Amino acid sequence: MKRFLLPLLALLPFLAAAQELRLIPYPLYLQADEGMYAPEGGVATVYTDLRGDDRRQLLDYIASSPLPLKAVKKQAKAHVRLLLDELDPSLQQPEAYRLEITPQGADAYACHPQGLFYAFQTLMQLDGQAAPAGTGDHSLPLVKIFDEPAHQWRGWHMDVSRHFFGKEFLTKQLRMMARYKLNRFHWHLTDDSGWRLEIKRYPQLTDSTAYRPQALWEEWGDQGARFCSAKAPGAYGGYFTQRDVREIVDYAQCLGITVVPEIDVPGHSRAALAAFPALACTGRAYENSELCLGNDETFTFVTNVLTEVLDLFPSEYIHIGGDEADRSHWARCPKCQALMQREGLADVKELQSWFTRRLEDWLTQRGRKLLGWDEIMEGGLSPRATVMSWRGERSAVEAATDGHDVVMTPWQCYLDNAQDDPTTEPRGVGGYVPLRLTYALDAVPVGLDAAAAPHILGVQGNLWTERIATEAHAEYMLYPRICAVAENGWTVPERKSWERFHRFALDEVDYLHAQGYNAFNLAAEKGDRPEAQQPVRHLAVGRTPAYTHAPSPKYPGRGPATLTDGERGSYNYQEGQWLGFENQDCEVTLDLDSVQPIAYVAASFMQRADQWIWLPSEVQISVSDDGQDYRILSREPQEVDFDNPAIIFRTYTWEGATRVRYVRLTAKASGRPGGWLFTDEIIIK
């Protein structure tokens, strides 16, 4: 943002003389006036001074829009004018634009075709807002707007490996992405569950691993996670031919969207190894998902694939994944160990870093930039790599401080989480991310040094599809939360307002439904877990618990006092009000300072089998007067139903009358290796 505009923002707040104009994302500066522009006879003329392909693309897009506009070749005859202005110092950002609507028509200026395209997107959102409700009039409100994005990367990620989504679905979503001024489509093309991109040098990839016998991802995993040919009975899947890819890339480019491909290596490569088992450490398919980094043929294979990828995708950034590799295979592999010894690599993290650096050098030589999930930082970050930070803000701060560019995509941007009560919503990845939490994200992490802040390129919303098998379900998870992602990326924090955005989003859902998108019905949102919506007062609030076993550092809540802060956990175990214990019991003791009467003790636990979170096998509440001798008030054993797919919240209680000083809660783990135990608050009354 041009810093000289900040005083302007302070002096010129939003003026809605006649009405509140609905725009997502919200512009940098907006002044609305009384009155409207109404085209004579319902049709207006449009002129642009763009030339060549830029002119053709913009006019073709305008012709396909709902606005009744007819192109003319002379500016003097136009009611809507879209003009380049390369001299205005406020329009030096390629996506910036200036728009003014008067009773005589509309004028938009930008220094680049993309700015004019976004000015037209704003016009389309303003279409009809000056007309009486329900008239269908194309009148435009009178307004002055200056606008530019806060961040250069505003993205949407789509996983087509776990479940396949075809060209028509993707282009439909790209049209809506353009409406919200999103400019990156991160296309997750390969993973364990299927290889979705035609590689002419290796036809085995799509011949062998683009289809599977089971349609549902979980059922496929339960049945051994094997692939089949396209001709097998009941085969499910598909892939994109290189012609498909070129069409999608060209279509996206006309919408101002860059397609960023992801070829996920060296982990998440089960599909590649099914086609080429010699690239596995064991030399056998279906035993793991990691490429053998000690095999020279691995690098040859990956770069041969990327050679075709570079030919298909003009994107400056090429995403190589790099996440969640099980490095234990490399620790047991003679080839990997021999390579580590030759290169002086201390551990398998450095081995993966070595591989990533080789890929980065290869891409750099071809004029591209390497992008990867934040695991690429482990073992040493490649010098020019860009980090996509998904595991929280710590990696983003570390990378940006060290001078690396970063795209923010933390859990608030994971659109496969439920957006309302997960006990009743369609199944997602396991968390709870309502619209308000997505909107609350600040793209620049709190505490990041001002000098490092420019390394934050922007934000991205991710849609993973493990449990999203249909187009209707995918759209339901996308909208309207992708609108919040868009505003986080475009609108400066000083101009954001949750109350205003929520009002706009309610109307936007109606628009989406009218356009044939299966958006979540925001008007019917139930909201968070009822227990989490009001603080609870009780005797333990403010007291520091003593833990026999410390909670996992992966889920520490907000510190040791999380269980006694008077706040109950939400539907989202990642939000900070739940403590997580991995492979161990939860035993907590509270000192009330003196012997006093109590009548009630309670604690809540959750079960999410899809996230390996189980209810305890037993909950015991015991008390003591001296902290040495404890007597049991209640013991509640139970059989944990490991196969129950339901999301369960259960409160264990004791009620009675006694006098005590110390209260101890003991929750025994389920006994399932790798299982988690989550609790949110110990309530004593």
- Both 134 and 159 in one domain: the answer is no
**Of 125, 147, 169, which residue is a domain's last?**
147
**C-beta of residue 289 within 8 angstroms of C-beta of residue 341:** no
- Both 486 and 403 in one domain: the answer is yes
For residue 72, how far is the Cα from the chain centroid? Answer: 42
The three state secondary structure string of 73-95 is CCHHHCCEEEEECCCCHHHCCCC
Both tokens of 329, joined, read: 């295979």
Q: Is 221 helix (H, G, I), strand (E, B) or coil?
A: helix
Tokens 């509309």 — which residue? 106
CATH at 16 = 3.30.379.10
What is the set of active-site residues?
Answer: 191, 268, 324
**Of 147, 180, 214, which residue is a domain's last?**
147
pLDDT at 136 over 70: no
- Both 593 and 496 in one domain: the answer is no
CATH at 338 = 3.20.20.80
- Both 519 and 535 in one domain: the answer is no
- Tens-digit pLDDT profile for residues 38-58: 888 778 999 999 999 999 999
Per-residue pLDDT, 228: 98
The H-or-E segment that residue 310 falls in is helix 296-312
- Both 536 and 640 in one domain: the answer is yes
- Both 208 and 279 in one domain: the answer is yes
In DSSP notation, 628-665 reads: SSEEEEEEEE----TT--S-EEEEEEEEEEEEEEEEEE
In DSSP notation, 314-373 reads: --SEEEEE--S--THHHHH-HHHHHHHHHHT--SHHHHHHHHHHHHHHHHHTTT-EEEEE
- Both 555 and 513 in one domain: the answer is no
- Both 249 and 328 in one domain: the answer is yes
CA distance 251 to 196: 19
**What type of residue is 427?**
R
Q: How many structural domains comprise the chain?
A: 3
Cβ partners under 8 Å of residue 194, min gap 6: 161, 162, 164, 209, 210, 211, 212, 227, 237, 239, 271
CA distance 609 to 589: 28
CA distance 673 to 405: 38
Average pLDDT over residues 284-303: 97
Which residues span the domain enclosing 166? 153-524
pLDDT at 114 over 50: yes
Q: Is 541 helix (H, G, I), strand (E, B) or coil?
A: coil
Task: For residue 516, give the nearest of 470, 468, 472, 464 by alpha carbon.
Answer: 472
CA distance 454 to 679: 39
- Both 107 and 165 in one domain: the answer is no
- Tens-digit pLDDT profile for residues 218-259: 999 999 999 999 999 999 999 999 999 999 999 999 999 999
- Both 251 and 354 in one domain: the answer is yes
- Both 277 and 359 in one domain: the answer is yes
- Both 518 and 617 in one domain: the answer is no
Average pLDDT over residues 523-536: 95
**Of 480, 499, 524, which residue is a domain's last?**
524
CATH at 663 = 2.60.120.260
Per-residue pLDDT, 13: 39
- Higher-confidence residue of 39 and 157: namely 157
Reported pTM = 0.93
